[in-house]
């Protein structure tokens, strides 16, 4: 599968819930429908809760991956305004 | 990391502190950053800085409403403090609008509080509400209630009306054009002799908190354009029985102010014989 290139990146390492989601949500709101957001985070709980909340808000989760001992990368496609 | 949103005609950039302060709003799907920016761009005027005006103003300040005007010509007295939660022992003797401004500024410096220490009348009301999007009635007497209603109908402003007495409170949201106005419900103010003043009747101190909280929620829904407001409905809260009931209020086609052939075309000051409770 070809690498997906995000339209926007946010680094929310160091943040805990609910600010992880607050930042992720503000980022997705500022984008156009169809664009892809990459989120870099290090709070394990948020790696589960952000995808769940994004889906509940109608957005599409493309990828949830742990990239090293501490960090996660999420890819979210903005599907809904 | 900056996020820019439309606020009125300009752009609002939330600071990190604002993102923290409003995070519980931003999380809500019905609000988000865009809704919070609408709140930050809103201009609301509250008539009365007493029992109802205090909680309405307090919560709208906490919510980050951009500009909040408070109109009241009264000063703080000890007997107010049982229910008027924006005032304190330290502000007794101070104009209520200044006392409330001090409290609200301490809660949220983002909000511009405009204190207006005047008695509202037919000669000044249209100028006082002109620059605002939404009017809140937190007054304690019928002459003012009818004056605000008529002025809102004439200037096309949405009005969130609240009233309290003893253990019972009422809330309704009046949208000129599409919904009824206060005169569709009661055409004329009751004669002065029949009206129990607050002084005679008393009021449970927490009652304005409940009713003012409901009014603040109506204002936020109007700003956000979400949910359903109490248009064409009067919500009645009975604190003794702990009941809420809704009464339908139809638009009256022969209403003297918002009907098809209105007979009231100018504002009226019904001053005679009404007492002004402290």
pLDDT per position as a tens digit, A10-33: 999 999 989 999 999 999 999 999
Question: Do B110 and B63 fall within a single domain?
Answer: yes
Quick check: is B255 in a domain? no
Kindly state the tokens that stand for B12: 């609002």
**Which of A10, A11, A21 lies nearest to residue B27, judging by beta carbons?**
A21
Question: Do B115 and B220 fall within a single domain?
Answer: yes
Quick check: is B273 in a domain? no
- Yes or no: say if B61 and B219 are a contact pair by the CB < 8 Å rule: no
CATH number at residue B216: 3.40.50.720
Question: Do B83 and B179 fall within a single domain?
Answer: yes
A19 with B33: Cβ contact below 8 A: no
Question: What is the average pLDDT across B1-12?
Answer: 49
Quick check: is B261 in a domain? no
pLDDT in tens, B151-193: 999 999 999 999 999 999 999 999 999 999 999 988 988 887 7
Quick check: is B61 in a domain? yes
Q: How many domains does chain B have?
A: 2
Q: How many other C-beta atoms are found inside a 10 Å radius of the C-beta of residue B223?
A: 23
Question: Do B31 and B156 fall within a single domain?
Answer: no
Domains of chain A, start order = 8-77 (3.30.110.40)
* pLDDT above 70: percentage of residues in chain B: 91
Question: Do B95 and B115 fall within a single domain?
Answer: yes
Quick check: is B186 in a domain? yes
- Tokens 């500022």 map to which residue? A30
Structural domain that includes position B215: 44-248
- Confidence (pLDDT) at B10: 43
A69: which residues sit within 8 A by CB, 6+ positions away?
Answer: none
pLDDT in tens, B90-122: 999 999 999 999 999 999 999 999 999 999 999
**Which of B4, B5, B23 lies nearest to residue A19, judging by beta carbons?**
B23
Question: Do B128 and B176 fall within a single domain?
Answer: yes
Residue among A7, A9, A14, A17 flagged as catalytic: A17
- Round the average pLDDT of chain B to a whole number and report it: 92
Residues in chain B: 278
- Yes or no: say if B135 and B129 are a contact pair by the CB < 8 Å rule: yes
Q: Does residue B277 carry a pLDDT above 60?
A: no
A66 given a catalytic annotation: no
- Yes or no: say if B229 and B216 are a contact pair by the CB < 8 Å rule: no
Return the closest-CA partner of residue A21 out of B23, B2, B37, B3. Answer: B23
* Residue B117 backbone dihedrals phi, psi, to 5 degrees: -95, 80
Residue B75 to residue B98: CA distance in whole angstroms: 9
> Which of A22, A57, A59, A78 has the most B C-beta neighbours within 10 Å, making it the best mutation to test the interface with B?
A22
Predicted confidence band at B232 (pLDDT cuts at 50, 70, 90)?
A: very high
A22 with B26: Cβ contact below 8 A: yes
Quick check: is B15 in a domain? yes
User: Positive or negative, the Cα torsion across B18, B22, B26, B32?
Assistant: negative
- ipTM (interface predicted TM): 0.85
Q: Which comes out higher in pLDDT, residue B5 or B124?
A: B124
């Amino acid at each position: 599968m070809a690498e997906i290139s995000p339209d926007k990146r946010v680094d929310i390492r160091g943040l805990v819930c609910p600010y992880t989601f607050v930042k992720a949500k503000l980022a997705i709101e500022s984008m156009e429908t169809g664009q892809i957001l990459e989120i870099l985070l290090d709070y394990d709980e948020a790696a589960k809760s952000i995808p769940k909340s994004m889906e509940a808000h109608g957005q599409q989760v493309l990828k949830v991956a742990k990239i090293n001992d501490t960090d996660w990368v999420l890819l979210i496609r903005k599907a809904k305004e | 990391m900056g996020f820019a949103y439309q606020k009125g005609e300009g752009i609002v950039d939330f600071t990190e502190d604002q993102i923290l302060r409003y995070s519980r709003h931003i999380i809500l799907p019905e609000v988000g950053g865009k809704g919070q920016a609408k709140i930050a761009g809103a201009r609301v005027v509250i008539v009365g800085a007493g029992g109802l005006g205090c909680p309405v103003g307090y919560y709208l300040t906490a919510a980050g409403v951009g500009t909040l005007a408070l109109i009241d010509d009264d000063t703080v007295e000890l007997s107010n403090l049982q229910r008027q939660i924006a005032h304190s022992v330290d502000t007794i003797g101070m104009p209520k609008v200044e006392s409330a401004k001090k409290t609200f500024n301490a809660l949220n410096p983002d909000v511009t509080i405009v204190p207006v220490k005047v008695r509202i009348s037919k000669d000044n009301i249209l100028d006082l509400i002109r620059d605002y999007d939404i009017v809140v009635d937190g007054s304690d007497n019928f002459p003012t209630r009818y004056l605000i209603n008529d002025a809102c109908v004439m200037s096309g402003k949405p009005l969130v009306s609240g009233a309290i007495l003893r253990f019972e409170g009422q809330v309704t949201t009046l949208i000129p054009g599409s919904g009824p106005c206060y005169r569709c419900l009661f055409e004329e103010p009751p004669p002065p002799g029949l009206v129990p003043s607050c002084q005679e009747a008393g009021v449970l101190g927490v009652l304005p908190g409940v009713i003012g909280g409901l009014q603040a929620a109506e204002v936020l829904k109007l700003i956000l354009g979400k949910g359903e407001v109490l248009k064409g409905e009067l919500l009645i809260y009975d604190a003794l029985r702990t009941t809420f009931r809704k009464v339908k209020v139809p638009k009256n086609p022969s209403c003297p102010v918002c009907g098809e052939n209105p007979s009231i075309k100018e504002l009226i000051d019904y001053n005679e014989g009404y007492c002004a409770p402290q």
